[in-house]
Structure 1
Amino acid sequence: MAQDRVEAVERALTILEAFDSDQERFTLTDLASATGYYKSTLLRLLGSLERFGYVQRGSDGRYRLGHAPMRLARRHLPSRRLEVWLQPTLDRLVAQSGETASLIEVNGGKAECRLVALPDTALRHDLRPGQRWSVTDRSPVLAFDGGIMIGRFLHDTVEDGNWWLTLSGPQGRLDQTLATRYLDAAIAELDRRPSESQSGEA
């Protein structure tokens, strides 16, 4: 309802929505263009968002998303129990393949990285929790220059969502056959080891 709207809150949320983009850092001019707000208005709102950790301002004066949204996402999306359950699987996939392993959720035409494990190498696919991209179907497989992503749907392993396990890395190094084998084995293991939410444990 109109009387439930708080204009300052909606403006701050509009600013945060501007960061839902492939661009990682924004000048004040970029944000003014994206939101339609005056720079003076942006500066006041960005000051509050920065104090609470929702945005960070670099030494070059450009803004990027802060740690607060990612901290909240780690706590609730997916749940902390799901993170505890799946992170060891991602770590094992990295150890087996030497590539980036991730848990991806697809919803409303968008794929989003929820959990990730990175290999200890400079040449890798640097996914991060909260990173989003558009998809044309249910599959979250991401196309990127010089790289490849292999994904496997988690079937009924995870409830309430379209969840995928993926491996991604340089195209000349990531073997698709091995990646598929590792992912299928990981999903088979998860099927044998139900999560707390499935088993009904507290």
Structure 2
Amino acid sequence: MAQDRVEAVERALTVLEAFDSPQEHFTLAELAQATGYYKSTLLRLLGSLTRFDYVQRDEQGRWHLGHAPVRLARRHLPGRHLATRIQPLLVRLSADSGETAALLEGEDGMVECRLVTLPDAALRHDLRPGDRWAAAADDPRPLLAGGVMVCQPLPGDAIEPPMWLALSGPAGRLDPQQANRLLADAMASLAVGPPRETGP
């Protein structure tokens, strides 16, 4: 309905829609052409979007998406296809190891637990989806007092945030060599993919 429209909001969203393109960086002139807005109008809109980190401006004066859209997207669970493939693996890993099995994702110096299966043991690494911690880009493991985590990276491309399969638990109980073997088997089953259905 017309009374539900807020013109300034719709203009800002139109600017964001322009970034839904294979092109990652835009000059002001390119954004003006893509949106149909005057450059003066665009600068005001981009100023507000920059303050909330929806867009950023680089040293060459070009505009690109900021961190806010990615941060909001990460509030959601992994896609259904990914969860359908990974969650059964986590259940099996947890059952075979007796430890916590998780899917981790890293970006911008932070790691987040996306999916997890906990063992029945009372003494365990209580990890929950949405738990986050600071970590190095190539080592997602958190500091665990009296505990250990073993990780193996999932294959992916340079555009996607890195992901790892992980097993974690008490240091005296979790055998890193066994954990690495179990994770390697899980990775191999992922590489093979789900079994194909055959006809009668």
What TM-score bracket applies, with the shorter chain setting the length? Answer: 0.5 to 0.7
Give the count of matched residue pairs.
131
Question: What's 2:96 paired with?
Answer: 96
Q: Is the 8 A contact 2:100 2:167 kept in 1?
A: yes
- The within-5 A match list for 1:121-160 is 121-156=121-156, 160=160
Letter in 1 for 2:115: L
* CA RMSD, 1 decimal: 2.8
CA contact (8 A) 1:106 1:138 kept: no
Report the Cα offset of residue 173 of structure 1.
0.3
Q: Are residues 1:111 and 2:111 paired?
A: yes
Which protein has the larger Cα radius of gyration, Structure 1 or Structure 2?
2
1:192 alignment counterpart: 192
Determine the structure 2 residue equivalent to 1:52.
Answer: none
Distance in 1, matches of 2:86 and 2:47, equals 39
Unmatched 5+ stretches in structure 2: 1-42, 53-71, 196-200
4+ aligned runs moved over 4 Å, structure 1: 1-6
1:160 shift after superposition: 2.3
SS of the residue aligned with 1:105?
A: strand
Q: 1:73–1:130: 8 Å Cα contact kept in structure 2?
A: no
Q: Structure 2 CA distance, aligned partners of 1:160 and 1:121?
A: 34
The separation in 1 between residues aligned to 2:100 and 2:189, in whole angstroms, is 19
Residue pair 2:156, 2:162 contacting (<8 A) in 1 also: no
Partner residue of 1:53? none
Per the alignment, residue 168 of structure 2 pairs with 168
Per the normalisation by structure 1, the TM-score is 0.58
Point out the structure with the larger helix share.
1
Deviation at 1:137, TM superposition (A): 2.7
Q: Which residue of 2 aligns with 1:51?
A: none
Matching residue's letter, 2:102: S
In 1, Cα distance between equivalents of 2:86 and 2:177 = 22
User: How much does 1:154 deviate?
Assistant: 1.0
Show structure 1 runs of 5+ residues with no match. Answer: 11-68, 196-202
Report the secondary structure of 1:116's partner residue: strand
Give distance in 1, aligned partners of 2:97 and 2:180: 10
Name the residue aligned to 1:73.
76
The CA deviation at 1:3 is 6.0
DSSP 3-state at the match of 1:120? coil
Cα displacement (A) at 1:4: 8.5
Q: How far, CA to CA, are the matches of 1:2 and 1:171 in structure 2?
A: 55
What fraction of aligned residue pairs are identical, expressed as a percent? Answer: 45
Q: Per-residue deviation at 1:161?
A: 2.5
Residue 175 of structure 1: how far off its partner (Å): 0.4
State the partner residue of 2:56.
Answer: none
